[in-house]
Structure 1
Amino acid sequence: MSKRPTISDLARETGLGVATVDRALNGRSNVSARAVARVAEAAERLGYHASGLARLRVEAKARPVKRLGFVLQKPGQAFYRNFATELEVAVAARSDVNGKTKIRFPDSQAIEAYESVIGEVADEVDALAVVAPNHPRLVELVGRCRANGLPVFTLLNDFAQDTRAGYLGMDNLKVGRIAAWMLTTGLRQPGELAIFVGSGRWYGHMMRETGFQSYLRQNAPAFTMLDTMVNLDTRQVTYEATLDLLNRRPDLRGIYVAGGGMEGAIAALREVRPAGRVGLVVNELTPESRAALVDRYALMAIATPLAELCRRCVAAMLEASSGGASFGQVFLPPDLHVPESI
């Protein structure tokens, strides 16, 4: 029986070092495309057992390299950790390019932190997608990126409508109306409803508030909307504000958390109200919101279709980085979760 070819045989056949052949076969980046091709050709000629893998390495080297950057926020939250994972999956799934993913998070919610991380990533990528609040300095920064030939997409919150290449996310006005519909149809009697938003800097939250209010005015006038409360998208602020609200408003019928911080509202309701006494609608399906749905503390979770959003975002970024046209707004239908769907 003839001896199976080894890496040493490939090295002799190609005139390359054993270490170089090993790196080529294992897809390491510090090997030239020409060297990888020589190894692949030799592997096929000698009948090396991993010749198919070597051919795949050649094809990967031949694909154009595209560097895609993403700026998210709050890496401690399950939603944004899932978001980062789905972005990496979407980039890796592209067979037409050799995609390189760079994902960064600002170290605080200060505008300066967003400016710093966006500027850092912008210098290293071919296209950029960002989750950020509304602020003139960020709009100006996106404009400078555009002037330098870098397409920038906004995600979830359309904070730079005049300068970005496109927006991908949900129709936030519609999301607010869905939340109002759920509360007013799911509650047995009319009463007071409360809404939390992150801050006045999140245009998406303001649109949800507008949609919520417009639905009540048009379709459920027997319900009263209390003054909007700001929770800074944080669990603790939402928790304390919800406890205070429940103490001051014993007849409160429902709460809508239009942004982050829903964990605080869930925890407060669990402490002082039986399940179902106060209706709750939240955004995104996380372990906490799933448990709240199962235990009937939440009526609905309105979730971003992350896998589809990331797939379409990566496709738009690749097209724009190759000279494609602007995309405008891409609205994705939300995923709606209720207790009986969990």
Structure 2
Amino acid sequence: MNKRRATIVDIAERAGVSPSTVDRVLNSRLPVKGKTADRVLAAARELRYHGINLLAQRVDENRRSVTLGLLLQSRSNPFFRELCEHIHDYAKHDRPECRNIVIEEFKDKTPKAMAASLHELAAKVDVLGVMAFDHPTVNEAVAALTASGKQVVAVLSGLSAPSLAGYVGIDHQKAGRTAGWSLAKLLNRTGKVGMLIESYQYRAFQEREFGLRNYILEHEPEMEVCEGIYGIASNQVVERMFEELLARHPDLKALYFVGAGVAAVLGMVELLPLERRPLIVCHELTPVTRSALLSGSVAVVLDTPRRDLAREIVDQLLDRSLELSSDHRASHVEFRFYCPENI
């Protein structure tokens, strides 16, 4: 007796999807994610489905090829370099819909130049991800691109453009509150906290500062948060900012690096008398901050997992381009908490 032919229900069960999803792949009714379509096709092959040739043809026909674009701060920065490697790796091995990825960095970090760079990259790609200033000129560029049919997703730092398609990154207010909680525990809930803040035009850094201040105001009446010092652009600038902070507040007990720049002052911290060395909380686990944790120069690092972030960036950009998602969506990647005992 001949074995029963495999059905759509059998394929669905083997692929871990619904029969309607298999039907959508087979009859091109609605878009299906590339990974899902590939699972359906693999299950059909395993079951020796009689319509395998037609199913394979449908998958090939429906697999749109998309070019992703990303505008980031600096590809030479260790954090961004590692992130770009994970983005390329994930797209290559897990998202066959991705034809190409164009990753560029801002050469000129003024709002007008950022807006121009957005338009230039948009001409080369199908959908864009960007880490830019939250500024009216940038938001106007996002609105213009959206009106032209090109969707824009904020990466790592949010934008207030109403037409923004989505956001991928950590919850920065939560990170700032976690920094405040950490310092309160380390300082026995008393003492003065300072902040060095990279460009305040990034919404991410505004939210981190807001989170730390709010936590201290709500829970720690014996602690004081100093005024923030802004302007991280080079090692020399960071060193001057740190010297200024120590001069204004000789009784400073802790320091929160809201953005980058911690590497520039580690040597200066180690030269201070032990009683004047501030406890430091910073962001992103790199070879420099890992070493500083081990030496005791840094107390806590709040890290954004690059592999998880890369996956969320690629998935959301592809979903936008393939019209699998239309509403504004925030994909929050959970940050990780590192201290000297768990690295």
Q: Deviations over 1:216-271 (max 9, x none)?
A: 11111111111111033543322221123224433210000111112123232123
Using CA pairs below 8 Å that are at least 6 residues apart, which structure has the higher relative contact order?
2
Say if 2:143 and 2:161, in contact at 8 Å, map to a contact too. Answer: no
The 1:275–1:330 alpha-carbon spacing in structure 2 relative to 1, beyond 3 Å, is farther
In the TM superposition, what is the alpha-carbon distance from 1:62 to its structure 2 partner?
9.2
Q: TM-score, normalised by structure 1?
A: 0.78
Matched, 1:239 2:239: yes
Say if 2:194 and 2:256, in contact at 8 Å, map to a contact too. Answer: yes
Matches within 5 A, 1:1-342: 63-188=63-188, 190-274=190-274, 277-323=277-323, 324-342=325-343
What SS does structure 2 have at the residue aligned with 1:341?
coil
Which residue number in structure 1 is paired with residue 8 of structure 2? none
Distance 1:309 1:281 in 2: 21
Say if 1:104 and 1:117, in contact at 8 Å, map to a contact too. Answer: no
In the TM superposition, what is the alpha-carbon distance from 1:273 to its structure 2 partner?
4.2
What SS does structure 1 have at the residue aligned with 2:138?
helix
Q: How many residues align?
A: 284
Distance 1:212 1:117 in 2: 33
In the TM superposition, what is the alpha-carbon distance from 1:311 to its structure 2 partner?
0.6
Structure 1: state its 5+ residue gaps.
1-58
The 1:60–1:81 alpha-carbon spacing in structure 2 relative to 1, beyond 3 Å, is farther
Say if 2:254 and 2:279, in contact at 8 Å, map to a contact too. Answer: yes
Q: Which amino acid aligns with 2:80?
A: Y
What SS does structure 1 have at the residue aligned with 2:163?
coil
In the TM superposition, what is the alpha-carbon distance from 1:212 to its structure 2 partner?
0.4
Distance 1:207 1:99 in 2: 35
Say if 1:239 and 1:267, in contact at 8 Å, map to a contact too. Answer: no
Give the RMSD, CA atoms, in angstroms: 2.2
In the TM superposition, what is the alpha-carbon distance from 1:166 to its structure 2 partner?
0.2
Say if 1:284 and 1:304, in contact at 8 Å, map to a contact too. Answer: yes
Q: TM-score, normalised by structure 2?
A: 0.77
In the TM superposition, what is the alpha-carbon distance from 1:61 to its structure 2 partner?
11
Q: Which amino acid aligns with 1:219?
A: H
Say if 1:275 and 1:296, in contact at 8 Å, map to a contact too. Answer: no
Say if 2:68 and 2:98, in contact at 8 Å, map to a contact too. Answer: no
Identity among equivalent positions (%) equals: 26
What SS does structure 1 have at the residue aligned with 2:107?
coil
Distance 2:166 2:189 in 1: 42
The 1:276–1:80 alpha-carbon spacing in structure 2 relative to 1, beyond 3 Å, is farther
User: Which structure has the bigger radius of gyration?
Assistant: 1
The 1:124–1:270 alpha-carbon spacing in structure 2 relative to 1, beyond 3 Å, is same
What SS does structure 1 have at the residue aligned with 2:214?
helix
Moved more, 272-281 or 116-125: 272-281
Distance 1:288 1:124 in 2: 36
Q: Which amino acid aligns with 1:337?
A: Y
In the TM superposition, what is the alpha-carbon distance from 1:200 to its structure 2 partner?
2.7
In the TM superposition, what is the alpha-carbon distance from 1:94 to its structure 2 partner?
2.6
In the TM superposition, what is the alpha-carbon distance from 1:102 to its structure 2 partner?
0.2
Distance 1:322 1:61 in 2: 14
Structure 2: state its 5+ residue gaps.
1-58
